Structure formats: C-alpha cells, structure tokens
Amino acid sequence: MTDHVRGEVLDQLEALAAQAAVACGRFIVDDRPPSVEVAGTKSSPTDVVTEMDRAGETLIHSLIRAARPHDGILGEEGSDVVGDSGITWVVDPIDGTVNYLYDIPAYAVSVAAVVGSPTTPGSWRPLAGAVYNPVLDELYLASRGRGATLESGGARRRLEIQDVPASQALIATGFNYDASTRQWQGGLLAEILPHVRDVRRLGSAALDLCHVASGRVNASYESRLNSWDIAAGWLVVEEAGGVVRGLDGAAPSPDLVMAGPERLVDDLARIVMPATRQAPTP
C-alpha cells in the first residue's frame, strides 16, 4: 500500500504534517479566548466542540490545500475534501477538547497523511504524521520506514519502545462519551487493574499513543476511537518499534486499538479482547 511513495515525498509529507500541527497548536494556545465556550456537541451532550476546534481545522486545511491541492482531507470537525492524489490528510485540531475546555494542559494537534480509505477500518495506513503538544512544546514525528522522533527543548531524540512485563506496565486508556459504553469500559478497567502496575487516563488518545512510543506509559488500549484520533500516533508507535492492533489482531478500528511492545500487547489482549467482543453496540 505504501511501496510506491518515494523517499522525497515522505520528507515533504512529514514536513507538512509538522508545519500544520505546530501552526495549529500555537494558534489554539496563543489565541485562546479568556473563556472557552462550547460551540456544539457531537456523539453525546458531553462530547463537545469549541470554536477553536473549528478554527484550528480551517487553519490546517488552508496549509494543506496550499501545499498539496490534490490531496483529500478528513477532519474531526467535518469540513472534508475529496482528493485525487491517493493521499488523504487525517486531522484533529484539538485531541482532548474537554481538557482544552477546562484548561487542563493535556491536549494535542494530530495531523497525518494516509493512503487508503480512512473511514474503512483495515483499508488504510499512515505514511507520515505529527502530534504536537503545544503546552509542553513537544513535537512527535514519524514517516513510514524512517523511525519516530520527539523534538523538545531544541533537541531531537529517536524513540524506541522498551518492553516490560505486564505486572510492571503502566497502561493508558480512555473512555467514550456514551453512558452505556463508559459503564462497560469501567468494568473492563476493573478486570485489568490487578494485572498491571497501574492505569492512567489522560484524555487524549493521540498523546496516549505518543507516550507509549516515548516510554511515559508502556501500552495503551481504548475502544470507540476514530481515524483522526489515531492516525499520526499509530505511525509514531510503529516507527518506534511497537505494534498497533485491533480486535483479534486485525488493524486498529473503532472496536479496539491496542498499542505497545508486541509481547505486552499480546498479554493485554488476553484480558481486553474477550470483554471487547461483548461490548455494547455504539
């Protein structure tokens, strides 16, 4: 699916992903209004969107369209573009909107170039991506076959996942905004806790994946994620030497996303997958 993409194209895609992610990140921090208001809701009354989400996505669109006018764009806020180049940009202007709403410094911009249909699980793969935490000024970057890096404080380091036994693993997860799904996810969490060091719930799936790659957590799992939540972080994990899997070892999908070193993901899957097959219908 990615063999035809030349190295110089990957360079261009990664650079554009970084440019768009950083520009949006600086915008949502520097132009943040004194009081952030909820502009609307999505999947439930607690799943909010702000005007800064929408303005940030517009900014990303303008940068991508100026540089690559034939590419498609799929964004969380719905202002999508159909392209004819075979490459689609999957973007989330604020991953962790509720954190942003409450001014909790745990949110990020996620921008990724993918091939295939990002709305059809198993039929797409990320080529290049960036996740930018504007509060910490941390930029996670990856392109297919070229490794993953973290830029912070003027330094750039290569990311490499380290394996640990499940009993010593710090696991990241998140919860959906649908009440019945949350109830089920809480039960699954109770099953996992006795088998691991501890669990963290940050509120941004993109950052969870990048933290797996950088070693801040050892693995992550979550259900009901969309392509814009995972596209860039998925690539960062894989290029750091980890695996990202879905239900029964398939590609990641809204049913399940698990990420980490292969052995730890296998151990986690023995607990997560049986419960996931019994999850409520969204």
% of the chain at pLDDT higher than 70: 94
Measured between alpha carbons, how far is 274 from 267 in angstroms, rounded to an integer? 12
* Enclosing H/E stretch for 53: helix 51-67
* pLDDT, position 91: 97
pLDDT of residue 232: 98
Nearest 5°: phi and psi at 116?
A: 90, -175
Q: What is the pTM of this model?
A: 0.93
Classify 26 as helix, strand or coil: helix
Give the model's confidence band at 77: pLDDT under 50 very low, under 70 low, under 90 confident, else very high.
confident
Confidence of residue 158 (pLDDT cuts 50, 70, 90): very high
Q: Given this model, what pLDDT does residue 32 score?
A: 86
**What is the percentage of the chain residues whose pLDDT exceeds 90?**
77
pLDDT digits (tens, 9 = 90+) for 215-272: 999 999 999 999 999 999 999 999 999 999 999 999 999 999 999 999 999 999 999 9
- Dist. CA 232–CA 142, nearest whole Å: 8
Q: Is the dihedral of CA 13, 245, 132, 147 positive or negative?
A: negative
What residue spans of 103-251 are helical by DSSP H? Answer: 179-192, 205-214, 227-239
Q: Which two tokens stand for residue 223?
A: 């259900």
